[in-house]
């Protein structure tokens, strides 16, 4: 099994689930593999915390976070992995087969990142807008005659793969886990930017685009969508994001001082 720290750095996010029984099944699967961080985004049913299918996991449902938006649910995460089928969609982010997901997660945990596994609603899965918040799209291999999977089963399969393939972090022999600090290395990757800061940066870039009349107002939604995808493809380190935030703040201030010509 994974260490407590590893399991505690992985969130399961359910977007607009309709059936409370599926939420309960997802919670039960999380408890099976020792995961405890669940977020439910804009649930359809108001009484989802009472789902009877959460056998052995009522506390997990009781402490789950409920958010109005996906952006809020993944705001503290540095790697967001959406799930879905490619049967009726053209992906705009890298596609990772489920058996290949563990190395991505392993690298993110090694640099003290936080990972979100995002699952869409039962009827149609994650939307294009939902996926704009995701760094990668996980494809669960299924028979082409039945590509979709029950929500609770999809959560179980994904968590099993991580539990089976991730390597538990090693700690120095004889040292308490809480006192262990990883040795620094020149090749150690910089911490990634959390999603909340990427959204802040995207908002500043968009503000600069509007102030400079970069494109018609009708393109605003499309530009925002493309900016989200671009920033996640670039995957800037936290220090680089801070620099870009400062840069675009100055640009926006300058642009707002310049009078617009007729």
SS (H, E, C) the chain: CCCHHHHHCEEEEEECCCCHHHHHHHHHHHHHCCCCEEEEECCCCCCHHHCCCCCCCHHHHHHCEEECCHHHHCCCCCEEEEECCCCCCCCCCCEEEHHHHHHHHHHHHHCCCCEEEEECCCCCCCCHHHHCCCCEEEECCCCCCCCCCCHHHHHHHHHHHHHHHCCCCCCCCCCCHHHCCCCCCCCCCCCECCHHHHHHHHHHHHHHHHHCCCCCHHHHHHHHHHHHHHHHHHCCEHHHHHHHHHHHHHHHHHHHHCCCCC
For position 121, what pLDDT does the model report?
93
For position 183, what pLDDT does the model report?
45
- Of residues 169 and 120, the one with the higher pLDDT is 120
pTM: 0.86
**CATH assignment of 4-165, among 3.40.1280.10, 3.90.1150.10, 2.30.29.30, 1.10.8.60:** 3.40.1280.10
Are 115 and 77 a contacting pair, CB within 8 Å? yes
Digit-coded pLDDT (tens) for 17-59: 999 999 999 999 999 999 999 999 999 988 899 998 999 999 9
Check pLDDT > 90 for residue 69.
yes
Check pLDDT > 60 for residue 172.
no
Sequence spans of domains, the chain = 4-165, 195-257
For position 217, what pLDDT does the model report?
84
For position 261, what pLDDT does the model report?
62
Show the tokens assigned to 209. Answer: 């685009």
Digit-coded pLDDT (tens) for 188-245: 556 789 999 999 999 999 999 998 888 888 899 999 999 999 999 999 999 999 999 9
For position 260, what pLDDT does the model report?
66
Q: How far apart are CA 50 and CA 23, in angstroms?
A: 10
As beta bridge partners, residue 136 has 81
For position 181, what pLDDT does the model report?
43
Closest CA to 121 of 70, 72, 160, 86: 70
Given pLDDT bands bounded at 50, 70 and 90, which one contains residue 185?
Answer: very low
């Amino acid at each position: 099994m994974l260490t407590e720290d590893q399991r505690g750095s992985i969130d399961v996010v359910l977007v607009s689930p309709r059936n409370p029984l599926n939420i309960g099944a997802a919670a039960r699967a999380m408890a099976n593999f020792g995961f405890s961080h669940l977020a439910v985004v804009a649930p359809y049913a108001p009484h989802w915390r009472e789902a009877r299918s959460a056998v052995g996991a009522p506390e997990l449902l009781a402490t789950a976070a409920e958010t109005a938006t996906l952006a809020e649910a993944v705001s503290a995460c540095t790697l967001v992995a959406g799930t879905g089928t490619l049967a009726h969609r053209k992906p705009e982010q890298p596609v990772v087969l489920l058996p290949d997901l563990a190395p991505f997660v392993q690298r993110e945990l090694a640099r003290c990142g936080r990972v979100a596994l995002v699952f869409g609603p039962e009827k149609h899965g994650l939307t294009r807008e939902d996926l704009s918040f995701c760094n990668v799209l996980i494809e669960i291999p299924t028979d082409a005659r039945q590509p979709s999977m029950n929500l609770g089963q999809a959560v179980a399969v994904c968590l099993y793969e991580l539990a089976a393939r991730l390597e538990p972090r090693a700690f120095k022999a004889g040292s308490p886990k809480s006192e262990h600090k990883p040795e620094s290395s020149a090749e150690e990757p910089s911490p990634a930017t959390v999603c909340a800061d990427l959204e802040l940066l995207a908002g500043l870039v968009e503000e600069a685009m509007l102030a400079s009349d970069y494109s018609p107002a009708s393109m605003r939604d499309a530009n925002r969508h493309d900016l989200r995808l671009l920033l996640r493809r670039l995957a800037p380190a936290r220090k680089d994001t801070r620099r870009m935030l400062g840069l675009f703040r100055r640009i926006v201030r300058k642009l707002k001082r310049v009078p617009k010509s007729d």
